[in-house]
Amino acid sequence: MWTVPAERMKARRAHRIPLSAAALVLVRRLLDGSDSDLLFPGGKRGMPLSKHGDADGDAPDEGKR
- 39 vs 57: which has the higher pLDDT: 39
Rounded-to-integer distance, Cα 50 and Cα 40, Å: 10
Q: What pLDDT, in 10s, does the model give residues 2-55?
A: 898 999 899 999 999 999 999 999 988 888 878 887 887 888 877 877 766 555
Does the pLDDT at position 64 exceed 70? Answer: no
pLDDT at 56: 55
The amino acid that residue 64 corresponds to is K
Report which DSSP code applies to 31: H
List, as one string, the DSSP characters of 7-20. GGSTTSS-EEE---
pLDDT at 37: 78
